[in-house]
Amino acid sequence: MTIMDPELIKEVLVNNKIYKKPNPNPMVKLMVPGIPTYEDQKWAKHRKIVAPAFTQDRLKVPVVFI
């Protein structure tokens, strides 16, 4: 399922105890370690660490329409 509405994305990210990730295939866990596979406190800790890199000012990129 893909969520595109910013408000719904915010709700899922903030309420990570309600919205759990599906259990991935063990091979996926080996190949894709990191924040996408973390849960609960470990996920919250790492999200807090990387959040400053994704502020709106840092993500502003000029948009070019061709």
Count up the domains in the chain and report the number: 1
Residue 6 maps to a domain? yes
- Listed as own residue / partner, the contacts of 10-16 with beta carbons closer than 8 Å and 24 or more positions apart are 13/47, 16/40, 16/43, 16/44
Tens digits of per-residue pLDDT, 9-65? 888 878 767 777 777 777 777 777 777 778 778 888 988 898 888 787 777 766 666
For residue 3, what pLDDT band results from cuts at 50, 70 and 90?
Answer: confident
pLDDT higher at 66 or 33 = 33
Residue 50 maps to a domain? no
Residue 24 maps to a domain? yes
Residue 58 maps to a domain? no
- Full residue range of the structural domain in which residue 32 is found: 1-43
Residue 59 maps to a domain? no
